[in-house]
Structure 1
Amino acid sequence: MATILQIETATQVCSVAISVNGETIALKEETAQNIHAASLTLFIEEVMKIASLKYADLDAIAVSKGPGSYTGLRIGVSTAKGLCFALDKPLIAVGTLQMMANGYMQNHPNYGGLVCPMIDARRMEVFTSIYDNKLQEIEAVNAKIVDDKSFILALQKNYVTFIGDGAAKCEAVLMHDNAHFDAHNYNSAANMSKLAYQAFVTDNFNDVAYFEPFYLKDFVFTTPKKKS
């Protein structure tokens, strides 16, 4: 039996879940700006209580590895690694965009098109990829500046559903008959359950000492403008 604690902090969602053999048994999440530092450990304690588990009962710790918010990923991965060190448990890293696509597919099991998760990366840029309905990667994870020509080849041949906090700002640009937009938030640790379990049973673990989040782009420091 695989009991896994799952952490998702790649966007403004702070989400923690516990799964047993790929099925979610406890979930605590909230969406707010800059919530992760103050809330993540509290959410972990809460789901452990909901599931009536002790930390020793866990078999692994899974974390959403990115891409996404630099600060959110750093907090989530640091917390996951700390738990792995303290409890001597293996670390599982789940791609954030794949996790989002998995959540959509689980909610729409009869869907036959492609799904394109998008994470907002400022202005008209998004972190994105494309998956088919079997969760196979059709387009590799990349940072894309979206315009009216973006995804045109995929849209000419397939029905494509765009999801995530980056999709809403692109709806006015991607005006194609095959483009559909789903406003539901799929950045949930519950959507990691199936993927984390698959990694566990295949011993697909990450080196706790050397693992780093998948930021995709370097962090850019900005200087606040001086008041005149």
Structure 2
Amino acid sequence: MAILLHLETATTNCSVSISKDDEIVVLKENNAASYSHSEQLHVFIKEALKEASLSFSDLDAISISKGPGSYTGLRIGVSAAKGLCFSLDIPLISVPTLQSMAHQVQLKPDELVIPVLDARRMEVYSCIYGSDHKEVRETRAEIVNEESFADYVSDIKVYVVGSGAEKCRGVLQHPNFVFDESIVPSAKDMASIAFRKYKAGQFEDVAYFEPYYLKDFVLQQKKNKN
């Protein structure tokens, strides 16, 4: 049996879970707009281990939500995961943030899900997955307009989910689009993906792994009033 610790910090949801193989046994999370990851993440990790009656030495690997998402949130999560992997000498597994979101949607055959995270202005981070939750189209940062995802919606339902769904709702008019803004990245949805990678030995190089930012970080500077 593999005991895995999962960390999700790509958005406002600070989320930690522990799984035995692919079954979640503990979940600790708080979705606060204040981005309190730096204060809560390590507290949640310790609380999750305690609730599961486990210690750090019991962990077989750590999985981290790799992005895209918040620059600061991703840095905090990846730094914590890498530090633990170094100190415990255990593998690091990366889980695409949008893929774990897609796992929250139960699809009928041939249906699609498009997880979308809000970016700047009319831009979203998006990826398209099929009913088997395998990638149909790669992850992109794109500006939403009337033609977005038009090649993928016809006579099947296409679920647009995540923080960018509200932005898409006002633009995408095809009746087969179904929108759900309530879905957020969560560590509870990382277990099946991470365990599959664990069994396959698909690990990251702890020393060199970096989050998948998708876009360069832009520092917003205050305008000089003079």
Asked if TM exceeds 0.5, the reply is yes
Question: Aligned equivalents of 2:146 and 2:134: distance in 1?
Answer: 25
Deviation at 1:185, TM superposition (A): 2.2
Q: How many residues align?
A: 225
* Structure-1 residue corresponding to 2:24: 24
* Structure-2 residue corresponding to 1:203: 201
* Structure-1 residue corresponding to 2:9: 9
What does 1:96-175 align with in structure 2 at a 5 Å threshold?
A: 96-104=97-105, 108=106, 110=108, 112-175=110-173
Runs of 4+ in 1 over 4 A off after TM superposition: 109-112
Question: Aligned equivalents of 2:25 and 2:196: distance in 1?
Answer: 17
What does 1:206-217 align with in structure 2 at a 5 Å threshold?
A: 206-217=204-215
What does 1:43-54 align with in structure 2 at a 5 Å threshold?
A: 43-54=44-55
TM-score (norm 1): 0.95
SS for the counterpart of 2:28 is strand
* Structure-1 residue corresponding to 2:37: 36
* Structure-1 residue corresponding to 2:64: 63
Q: In structure 2, what residue type is equivalent to 1:159?
A: K
Question: Aligned equivalents of 2:154 and 2:124: distance in 1?
Answer: 21
Deviation at 1:149, TM superposition (A): 1.1
SS for the counterpart of 2:154 is helix
SS for the counterpart of 1:30 is strand
Deviation at 1:110, TM superposition (A): 4.4
Contact 2:163 2:184 in 1 (8 A): no
Q: In structure 2, what residue type is equivalent to 1:184?
A: S
Q: In structure 2, what residue type is equivalent to 1:5?
A: L
Deviation at 1:170, TM superposition (A): 1.4
* Structure-1 residue corresponding to 2:93: 92
Question: Aligned equivalents of 1:138 and 1:109: distance in 2?
Answer: 14
Contact 2:148 2:172 in 1 (8 A): yes
Deviation at 1:221, TM superposition (A): 1.1
Q: In structure 1, what residue type is equivalent to 2:30?
A: E
Q: In structure 2, what residue type is equivalent to 1:72?
A: G
Question: Aligned equivalents of 1:41 and 1:75: distance in 2?
Answer: 10
Question: Aligned equivalents of 1:175 and 1:157: distance in 2?
Answer: 14
TM-score (norm 2): 0.96
Question: Aligned equivalents of 1:90 and 1:145: distance in 2?
Answer: 36
Question: Aligned equivalents of 1:62 and 1:34: distance in 2?
Answer: 20
Of 133-142 and 177-186, deviating more is 177-186
Root mean square deviation of aligned Cα: 1.3
Per-residue CA deviations over 1:28-69 (Å, capped at 9, x if unaligned) read: 111112211111111111111111101000000000000111
Q: In structure 1, what residue type is equivalent to 2:177?
A: A
Per-residue CA deviations over 1:76-95 (Å, capped at 9, x if unaligned) read: 00000000001111000000
Question: Aligned equivalents of 1:185 and 1:162: distance in 2?
Answer: 10
* Structure-1 residue corresponding to 2:74: 73
Question: Aligned equivalents of 2:71 and 2:184: distance in 1?
Answer: 19
Deviation at 1:158, TM superposition (A): 3.0
Contact 1:103 1:186 in 2 (8 A): no
Question: Aligned equivalents of 1:40 and 1:71: distance in 2?
Answer: 13
Of 75-84 and 151-160, deviating more is 151-160
